[in-house]
Structure 1
């Protein structure tokens, strides 16, 4: 649960980062103690797996960070490869996916701490789901990550309970 600590200030930046981390942790917790096979399993009618959700959340966070930084995303996928972001590929492991997410998390937190203002904006890419020539603020991006991760934390809860009965909330 998102509680202020001495390490994370209670200002707006700290609060937003705390809520993002709370949702990251909820996803990560669902994968604890599972084998690679269990984490990659799809125990529901969905195509989602826990390891795939970890990979997807990592790539989503990195993509938004690179957009905000206005830098090229070194892990960007071509549109026809989009579904590959929802499962681990040959040679990928849950442990490595979690380690990459740690790196992305650290980079996000450092960048957010250094950005002059949460009101700073950056352009959205051309896409049918974004208005043409739209920009969003860093604040909007952080709130979007809370929403994205919260949605997938719920998916992860259902997947984990379907795998072995483990419940996130008791």
Structure 2
């Protein structure tokens, strides 16, 4: 049996496609790193007490934003690997789930800013490890049942990473407002 060697053109196209896929992965991770850095920079130099202080009408504080973004990234990265079972079913909201969400949005006794930042760094490391190990960004899973997701919708790893980036960027903006109200410091400007 003879095999026909691949033409230089097909090798070049395959290499180009692989390079584009790696470039996309690199761009997504770099964008996520940038927004993580903005969020972490916003809490620079704060005490635990300052990180837990509410400075606006919102329930949010800076430490809780770090905690929430880390939990969100951890959960959605797990979704990329395991699908909807990693997130859970939101159609039957329990008192326990509501308490878990509430605890995710505040600093609890024993929470420290250093501890929350260390956990966030570990989540970031794990996300980058998972994304680097993916065969591609197109594999998708069905979204979990929830009133805010269209029935039957699916998200690819790509779409999930974009969601993580959007969440991180949005909360970095929230953090900047809270920090400015706390002591006048700004992330930018």
Query: 1:33 — aligned with what?
Result: 45
- Is 1:156 equivalent to 2:175 in the alignment? yes
Q: TM-score if structure 1 supplies the norm length?
A: 0.88
Which residue of the other structure, out of 16, 34, 54, is the alignment partner of 1:22? Answer: 34
Shift of 1:109: 0.4
Aligned counterparts, 1:33-112, within 5 A: 33-70=45-82, 73=86, 78-81=96-99, 82-112=101-131
**Structure 1 stretches of at least 4 aligned residues deviating more than 3 Å after TM superposition:** 71-74
**C-alpha deviations, 1:18-77, integer Å up to 9, x for none?**
101111111111111001111110111111100000000000001101111117659xx9
Q: TM-score if structure 2 supplies the norm length?
A: 0.79
- Contact 1:123–1:136 (CA<8 Å) still a contact in 2? yes
Which residue of the other structure, out of 149, 152, 161, is the alignment partner of 1:142? Answer: 161
Unaligned runs of 5+ residues in structure 1 are 1-8
- Contact 1:124–1:136 (CA<8 Å) still a contact in 2? yes
Unaligned runs of 5+ residues in structure 2 are 1-20, 88-93
| Structure with greater helix percent | 2
Q: Which has the larger radius of gyration?
A: 2
